[in-house]
Amino acid sequence: MILLNIGGAKPGVMDRSTQGSPAKYAFCFGENEEESPWEPYHVRRGFAAADSVVTAMPSEAPHNINDHGSTSGVGILTTIAGTISQPGANSIYCNAPIIIALGPEHAQTIHRDGYTIADIQQDLYDRSAVHVSRVSAENQESYANMDRPLVNDHYHMTPSPEDIHILVAGGPGKHSGYIAPFGFTAACSVRLSHV
What is the signed CA dihedral for 73, 78, 24, 49, rounded to 10 degrees?
20
Does 125 map to a domain?
yes
Domain that holds residue 82: 22-191
pTM of the model: 0.87
pLDDT grade for 50, boundaries at 50, 70 and 90? very high
What's the mean pLDDT when you consider all of the chain?
89
- 181/159 Cα distance (integer angstroms): 12
CA-nearest of 82, 73, 74, 65 to 110 is 73
Does 140 map to a domain?
yes
pLDDT reported for residue 19: 53
Q: Provide the β-strand partners of residue 151.
A: 154
Does 92 map to a domain?
yes
CA-nearest of 175, 165, 187, 179 to 86 is 179
pLDDT reported for residue 67: 97
Most confident of 22-26, 30-34, 191-195: 30-34
pLDDT per position as a tens digit, 82-139:
999 999 888 888 789 999 999 999 999 999 999 999 999 999 999 999 999 999 999 9
Does 14 map to a domain?
no
Does 85 map to a domain?
yes
Give, in order, the Cα–Cα distances in Å from 22 to each of 19, 58, 139.
10, 11, 27
Give, in order, the Cα–Cα distances in Å from 17 to each of 10, 40, 94, 183.
11, 34, 15, 10
Does 17 map to a domain?
no
How many separate domains does the chain show?
A: 1
Say if CB 191 and CB 52 are below 8 A apart: yes
pLDDT reported for residue 195: 46
Better-predicted residue by pLDDT, 61 or 169: 169
Does 138 map to a domain?
yes
Does 4 map to a domain?
no
E-assigned strand segments in the chain: 53-56, 63-66, 98-102, 130-131, 154-155, 164-168, 175-179, 188-191
